[in-house]
Amino acid sequence: MAVAVALSGCSGAKPADRAGPAPAGTLALRLPDRFGPLQRAPALFDHDAHTKALEKEGCQACHEATEPHGIALEFVPAREAADRDALTERYHARCMDCHKKRSEREGKFLPLACGECHVRRAPRDTAWTPIVFDSSLHARHVSALQKGGEKPCKTCHMVPDEKTHRLTYIEGKEATCATCHGPADRGKQLSLRHAAHEMCAGCHVQRRSRGETAGPTACKGCHDAADRAGIKTLERVPRLEGRQKDASVIQRQGSGSPAVVFDHKAHEAQSFCTSCHHKNQDACGTCHTLDGDEKGGGIRLVDAFHGPASDRGCVGCHRRETAKTECAGCHGAMGPSLSERTCDKCHTGPTQPGEPVTPAALPAPSKDFPEQVTLASLARKYEPSKFPHLKVATALDKAVRQSRLAARFHGDVNTLCAGCHHHSPVGKRPPPCRECHAGEPRPAVDQPGLMAAYHRQCLGCHVRMGVKKTGCTDCHALAPKEVAR
């Protein structure tokens, strides 16, 4: 991790206030913990601005060259300093010497006083976002390395199993970078952060120095969400090669449920291997048995697949998808238990995986499917609310069609309708809300009065889906007598 210095007793300009989030390339430099607390505010270092200013000199102007990946991440290695004063002296000598020389040579006024770098109010957050696995970007790296005559797996991962194209397993767990590289340096074994930057940024720097096309070398190129969104995405992402089947039939002997045909190929585009496989790439039933085995932590196979809180189970993964804004309107009001009518969406028996489901079109406006519904039974202080039934249904239908998962479970229009008409039989015209909610509230069975039912349903959906219209007059016009007042 980059380090900072904190001088005590030195004079300088009054520290300026700094508010709001900092750009992704801004680092708040701090001392390592072993040197004790800072005596001044952390120095705010704009890495991307320095990278641009020193473009001709390259990264080596500040960072030492290393083998085999190009650059050392630390500006002044903390291990070379015995105490606070020694580290302070080395750090300031390098920064201020560069600033003085460039100021004299270029006629610029670069920071030299303490308060110009050690800002009193460093931002509490930055625009920095973490790197996540991107299938498209991974495929582009593989293609580029292959064109250069390199073996992609060995170039980046160091420890692949060349026979199966899978990563090596260490102590039963798939060996990712974090398996060996932890949160801090341990001798020659770099931290995950240092190793990733030396490997990735170092490779980019080396390629650019040879005049080759390469990825970003500035922080924001990888860690700024807007910059990352501008990276070209492949229209068709090739599969990660692991000699895996396109589909697997999941059914354990002794289970009374029909088999599940798991479309492995379709799920690969949405996740990574370790999203489901957490110890090795064997079938789930190898460790998770029908009765629960200690190899699987005592977790039964049915719970491994259906546990709503599981990070890697089917139901847990699907529930995370339903928490998205476009789905939360309906799903946020539902309980954690599964509906029996959803079982046959997965438990289809030993057939081949089908084509993506295309939901049936919404019906044309009619008496049974009105374009607008007027809610007038409670109109007193406000005018009746005119509910845009078709507009709402169309918006929900659009969200379903944009998700392959939602399309499979909501292929029937009536299933979509049940999101609002929650206790009505699927396939039948729902009764008016007042048939169940007109009487006194019945808290014991979660049956509120009509006004509470309307507002909980409509406003609850608006809040969960981020709809800005949540005020009374967004849905109701004031009655004339109230306006006159």
- DSSP assignment string, 102-124: HHHHHT-----SHHHHB-SS--S
CB 337 within 8 A of CB 398: no
| Fold match between domain 1-128+205-212 and domain 135-204+213-229 | yes
CATH topology for 370-484 is Cytochrome C3 (3.90.10)
- Residue 153: CB partners within 8 Å, gap ≥ 6? 160, 162, 165
Q: Would you say residue 409 has pLDDT above 50?
A: yes
pLDDT at 400: 92
Residue 44, H or E segment:
strand 43-46
Domain layout of the chain by residue ranges: 1-128+205-212, 135-204+213-229, 264-344, 370-484
Q: Name the percent of the chain lying above pLDDT 70.
A: 83
Q: Name the percent of the chain lying above pLDDT 90.
A: 9
What pLDDT digit, counting tens, does each position of 59-69 carry? 778 877 766 55
Residue 100, H or E segment:
helix 84-106
Give the CA dihedral 448, 451, 457, 458, nearest 10 degrees: -170
pLDDT at 2: 37
3-state secondary structure of 479: coil
What pLDDT digit, counting tens, does each position of 96-134 carry? 889 998 888 888 888 888 888 887 665 556 678 888 778
- DSSP 8-class letter at 357: P
Nearest to 150 by CA among 203, 93, 190: 203
CATH topology for 264-344 is Cytochrome C3 (3.90.10)
**How many CA atoms are closer than 13 Å to the CA of 117, on its beta-carbon side?**
23
Mean pLDDT of 393-399: 92
pLDDT at 70: 59
Q: What is the DSSP string of 382-449?
A: BPPEEE-HHHHHHHHHHHHHT-HHHHHHS-SHHHHHTTTSTTSPTTSPPPPTHHHHSSS-BGGGTB--
Q: Would you say residue 427 has pLDDT above 60?
A: yes
Mean pLDDT of 367-389: 86
Q: Would you say residue 333 has pLDDT above 70?
A: yes
Estimate the share of the chain in helix, then strand, then coil, as percent rounded to the nearest 5: 40, 10, 50
> What are the distances in angstroms from CA 85 to CA 81, 161, 349, 387?
8, 48, 72, 70
Distance CA 5, CA 41 (A): 10
Task: Give the chain's mean pLDDT.
Answer: 80
- Residue 427: CB partners within 8 Å, gap ≥ 6? 414
Confidence of residue 398 (pLDDT cuts 50, 70, 90): very high
The tokens for 184 are 């801090």
pLDDT at 20: 60
Q: Encode burial over 153-191: b for 16+ CB neighbours within 10 A, e otherwise.
A: bebbbeebeeeeebbeeeeeebbbeebebeeebeeeebb
**Is 1-128+205-212 assigned to CATH 3.90.850.10?**
no
Most confident residue range from 31-35, 255-259, 278-282, 297-301: 297-301
Q: Would you say residue 233 has pLDDT above 50?
A: yes
What pLDDT digit, counting tens, does each position of 177-203 carry? 777 788 888 877 888 888 888 888 888
What pLDDT digit, counting tens, does each position of 431-480 carry? 888 888 888 899 888 899 998 999 999 999 999 999 988 888 888 888 77
The 10 Å Cβ neighbour count of residue 128 is 18
Q: Encode burial over 409-444: b for 16+ CB neighbours within 10 A, e otherwise.
A: bbeebbbbbbbbbeeeeeeeebeebeebbeeeeeee
Mean pLDDT of 209-230: 86
pLDDT at 1: 34
The tokens for 222 are 């990888």
Nearest to 333 by CA among 214, 217, 421, 220: 421
Confidence of residue 425 (pLDDT cuts 50, 70, 90): confident
* Superfamily covering domain 135-204+213-229: Cytochrome C3 (3.90.10.10)
The tokens for 238 are 């090739």
Taking each continuous run of H as one helix and of E as one strand, the counts in the chain are 22, 12
CA 307, distance to chain mean position in Å, is: 21
pLDDT at 482: 57
Q: What is the DSSP string of 235-302?
A: SSPPPP-S---S-EEE--TT--SPPEEE-HHHHHTTS-HHHH-SS-SS-GGGTS-SS--GGGTT--HH
pLDDT at 389: 93
Maximum CA pair distance of the chain? 85
pLDDT at 11: 34
Mean pLDDT of 72-87: 70
Greater model confidence, 254 or 471: 471
Q: Would you say residue 15 has pLDDT above 50?
A: no
Most confident residue range from 160-164, 166-170, 225-229: 225-229
Mean pLDDT of 254-280: 81
Distance CA 310, CA 303 (A): 9
Q: Would you say residue 395 has pLDDT above 60?
A: yes
User: Whole-prediction pTM value?
Assistant: 0.62
pLDDT at 463: 92
